[in-house]
């Protein structure tokens, strides 16, 4: 099979042996695979990988058709359209995944949309609802809302009945984010538009102090991105105490199979029906064929995008 490989800090596409599904695993012929910020960090040698994950094979999400089922795998049959998360090697012609990590692809979705869905919508749904307990009528602020997780979070908040605000650095994407269901704010002046019950932080350290100032009493902050900085030099604990607030961080990649499977089942219950009904969509910035993976990585790293960059096979 052909696969995206990291070699000496560069992205290349090489022939690799076809994977073979083990017990409870499924072999999937990949049709599309999304790029994520962790892939860029992995290429640059800056991502702490979970134990046993190959450092030279990026790719955390994919969609495709079941080719074969391994021993004991009965949930999906050959030909089924599936999508899911993987710890590595998702950007290839073939991938194996535990059957509990896979989800059916809603009929409305084409392959590029399905390939760009699992990571960002699972991340956003887990942070907003499982961790922060976002409720209808509450105020949600999404920082960095033009990216994949940001556009997912805006839509999920809207469909849940929250009042959604969002900060977007690039002026040319503000109208598009507003069309997803958000009141778009200036990244430099969001405090005056608070207070907010839940703040989803996708930018990082520069926002933390102002997030606390904009937080409603009893509010929650979820940090799931640090692209603009990961170190807060002065953290106002007194303000956090006065707000009776909660702040936490999260990643998906290093979780156990059991923990990841729970996020997949939550997606099947609460998110995929909204895609089937046409209430959610995956904004796509651009697609690239697998053989142009290096150009896709460069486009992602350049920033200034709305939604997902996806490799197609």
Checking if the pLDDT of 273 tops 80, the result is yes
**Rounded to whole angstroms, how far apart are CA atoms 275 and 270?**
10
Reported pTM: 0.95
C-alpha pair distances (Å), 31 with each of 41, 91, 96, 154, 294:
24, 10, 14, 27, 18
pLDDT at 114: 98
Listed in sequence order, the residues at least 6 apart from 172 whose beta carbon sits closer than 8 Å to its beta carbon are: none
Summarize the confidence of residues 20-49 as an average pLDDT: 94
Domain architecture of the chain: domains with CATH: 2-117+281-312 (3.90.180.10), 120-249 (3.40.50.720)
Rounded to an integer, what distance in angstroms lies between the CA atom of residue 79 and that of residue 66? Answer: 5
pLDDT at 136: 98
| pLDDT, tens digit (0-9, with 9 covering 90-100), for 194-250 | 999 999 999 888 888 999 999 999 999 999 987 767 788 888 888 889 899 999 998
Q: Is there a contact between 168 and 187 (Cβ–Cβ < 8 Å)?
A: yes
What's the longest Cα–Cα distance across the chain? 58
pLDDT tier for residue 252 given thresholds of 50, 70 and 90: confident
Q: Which residues contact 159 (CB under 8 A, 6 or more apart)?
A: 181, 274, 279, 280
Distance of CA 234 to the CA centre of its chain: 29
User: Which residue has better confidence, 239 or 263?
Assistant: 263
User: How many whole angstroms from its chain centre is CA 154?
Assistant: 13
| Rounded distance between C-alpha atoms, residue 162 and residue 134, angstroms | 8
CB 214 within 8 A of CB 190: yes
- Mean pLDDT across the stretch 269-293? 98
* Lowest-pLDDT choice from 38-42, 97-101, 238-242, 282-286: 238-242
70-114 confidence digits (pLDDT tens)? 999 999 999 999 999 999 999 999 999 999 999 999 999 999 999
Confidence of residue 6 (pLDDT cuts 50, 70, 90): very high
């Amino acid at each position: 099979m052909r696969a995206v490989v990291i070699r000496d800090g560069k992205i290349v596409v090489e022939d690799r042996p076809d994977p073979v599904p083990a017990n409870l695993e499924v072999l999937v012929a990949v049709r599309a695979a999304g790029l994520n910020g962790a892939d860029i960090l992995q290429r640059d040698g800056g991502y702490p990988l979970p134990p046993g994950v190959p450092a030279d094979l990026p790719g955390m999400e994919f969609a495709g058709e079941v080719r074969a089922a391994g021993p004991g795998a009965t949930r999906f049959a050959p030909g089924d359209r599936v999508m899911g998360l993987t710890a590595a090697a998702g950007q290839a012609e073939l991938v194996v995944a535990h059957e509990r990590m896979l989800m059916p692809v809603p009929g409305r979705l084409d392959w590029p949309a399905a390939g760009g869905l699992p990571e960002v919508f699972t991340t956003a749904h887990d942070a907003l609802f499982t961790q922060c307990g976002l409720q209808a009528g509450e105020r949600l602020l999404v920082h960095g809302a033009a990216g994949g997780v940001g556009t997912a979070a805006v839509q999920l908040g809207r469909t849940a009945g929250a009042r959604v605000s969002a900060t977007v650095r690039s002026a040319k994407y503000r109208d598009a984010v507003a069309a997803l269901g958000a009141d778009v704010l200036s990244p430099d002046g969001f405090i005056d538009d608070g207070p907010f019950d839940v703040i989803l932080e996708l930018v990082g350290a520069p926002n933390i102090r102002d997030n606390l100032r904009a937080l409603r009493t009893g509010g929650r902050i979820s940090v799931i991105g640090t692209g603009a900085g990961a170190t807060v030099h002065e953290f106002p604990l007194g303000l956090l105490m006065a707000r009776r607030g909660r702040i936490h961080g999260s990643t998906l990649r290093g979780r156990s199979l059991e923990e990841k499977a729970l996020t997949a089942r939550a997606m099947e219950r609460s998110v995929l029906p909204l895609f089937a009904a046409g209430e959610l969509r995956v904004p796509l910035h651009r697609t690239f064929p697998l053989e142009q993976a290096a150009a896709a990585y460069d486009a992602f790293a350049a920033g200034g995008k709305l939604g997902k960059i996806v490799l197609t096979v």
